Amino acid sequence: MKLSDEMLFGHPVLSSTSNDYRDALFAAEFDVNIEDPDSLVIGATIRLNCTDLDDLLEEGGAGCGFYVICLDTYQNRLIEMTPGSASHKLNAHHFFGTIQVRPVVWSKESRTGWSSKYLHPEYGGQADFPAAAVLAVGDEARFSVDRERLRPFESIFTLAANEGLQRGELAVDPEGDKITIFVHQDTKDSVDSIRNDQRGRTVLLNAVYLPALMQVLSEMSQRGRTFETKAWHRIFTAKCAATGIDPAAGDTLQNAQRLLKYPFARIEDQKERLFT
């Protein structure tokens, strides 16, 4: 189904562009990333502040989710989810160019005289709608699927042992096609043992990748052109451009945190899982 802000409906619809509802909200936030060459992950947070529509969802009379549309690859699919936060993994090879994402609530059955205290007074507190009718629609979000920009930062780093370092010490070498992070063999064994666990990745973002990224930013500010032929440079500069960061200027700590989407916040969000 193709949705737009200019569409007209024969029944009330909750949206930011209509006055059909009062004191109600339907909105969403999306984040798109490529975790590996085959997986495109859409993180969605949908907020529905309308108890009457919530009740309809719980009764099974309506569905909630979002459309994912990619005109360049002829993709148009509806992903169902309850209001809240969730991640959805899709085949990355099905998407390229611009992705349009829009949240929606739709009816699964027709209703006559459905009542809601949130309806505009002109509806008299009641509304009729058929099955498969749009009941709420959020603002559209757009993402450009640039494979270089969406690759995870981990893809441009490689970990290697260096017995000349102390346990827990890091050294960074950006001279290869991947940025090498050198650590003591015992430290490398520890990293390898936790990197495939979500909790372990959260720790590594803060303890390994954040300082390594700061070092790379420092190197870029001093001799950025030196690295233009390196394979990691394309991904790195694409991510900087998408975040509005000039890798040759600015505070390295602040820039590194922005590029990693403030990794310490993940520790705060997962502290119960990490420390219990």
The letter for the amino acid at 209 is: Y
> Residue 127: pLDDT above 60?
yes
Give the ranges where the chain is alpha helix by DSSP (H). Answer: 51-59, 147-150, 185-194, 198-204, 210-223, 231-243, 252-259, 264-269, 271-275
Pair (166, 262) in one structural domain: yes
Q: What is the pTM of this model?
A: 0.56
Domain boundary among 145, 160, 190: 145
The mean pLDDT value for 119-132 works out to: 95
pLDDT band, very low/low/confident/very high, at 117 (cuts 50, 70, 90): very high
Round the average pLDDT of the chain to a whole number and report it: 89
Q: Do 89 and 172 sit in the same domain of this protein?
A: no
Tell me if 13 is assigned to some domain: no
pLDDT digits (tens, 9 = 90+) for 244-263: 888 888 899 999 999 888 98
Same domain, 116 and 172: no
Which residues lie closer than 8 Å to 116 by C-beta, 6 or more apart?
Answer: 21, 50, 52, 53, 125, 126, 127
Judged by average pLDDT, the poorest of 64-68, 112-116, 236-240 is 236-240
Question: Do both 141 and 155 map to the same domain?
Answer: no
- Edge to edge, the sheet with strand 39-49 lists 25-36, 39-49, 84-91
Average pLDDT over residues 168-190: 94
Long-range own/partner contacts, residues 23-26 (CB < 8 A, 24 or more apart): 23/118, 24/49, 24/50, 24/53, 24/118, 25/49, 25/50, 26/50, 26/53, 26/103, 26/105, 26/136, 26/137, 26/138
Residue 7 lies in a domain: no
pLDDT tens readout for residues 69-86: 998 888 999 999 999 999
Give CB contacts under 8 A, 24+ apart, made by 248-252: 248/220, 248/221, 248/224, 249/221, 252/214, 252/217, 252/218, 252/221
How sure is the predictor about 144, in pLDDT bands with cuts at 50, 70 and 90?
A: confident
- Which structural domain, as residue segments, surrounds residue 126? 25-145
> Does 158 share its domain with 174?
yes
Instruction: Taking residues 163-171, report their average pLDDT.
Output: 93
- On whether both 169 and 135 belong to a single domain, the answer is no
Same domain, 75 and 109: yes
Residue 1 has pLDDT above 60, yes or no: no
Domain boundary among 145, 175, 205: 145
CATH number where 76 lies: 2.60.40
Last residue of a domain, one of 94, 126, 145: 145
DSSP bridge pairs for 181: 159, 172
Answer yes or no: is pLDDT of 210 > 60: yes
Q: Are residues 73 and 40 in the same domain?
A: yes
* Among candidate residues 71, 100, 88, the one with its CA nearest the CA of residue 33: 88
Domain assignment of residue 19, yes or no: no
Q: Would you state the pLDDT for residue 69?
A: 94
Q: Are 201 and 222 within one domain?
A: yes
Q: Are residues 258 and 157 in the same domain?
A: yes
- Compute the average pLDDT of residues 209-218: 93
Token digits for 214?
A: 């700061």
Q: Please tell me whether residues 169 and 199 are part of one structural domain.
A: yes
Domain membership of residue 2 (yes or no) is: no
Distance CA 84, CA 43 (A): 11
Average pLDDT over residues 127-151: 85
Q: For residue 198, tell me if it sits in a domain.
A: yes
Q: Output the DSSP codes for 139-164.
A: --EEEEE-HHHHS-GGGGEEEEE-TT
Confidence at 3, pLDDT banded by 50, 70, 90: low
Higher pLDDT, 25 or 146: 25
108 and 212 together in one domain: no
Residue of higher predicted confidence among 201 and 218: 218
Question: Would you state the structure tokens that stand for residue 250, as one six-digit string?
Answer: 């600015």
- pLDDT at 161 exceeding the cut of 60: yes
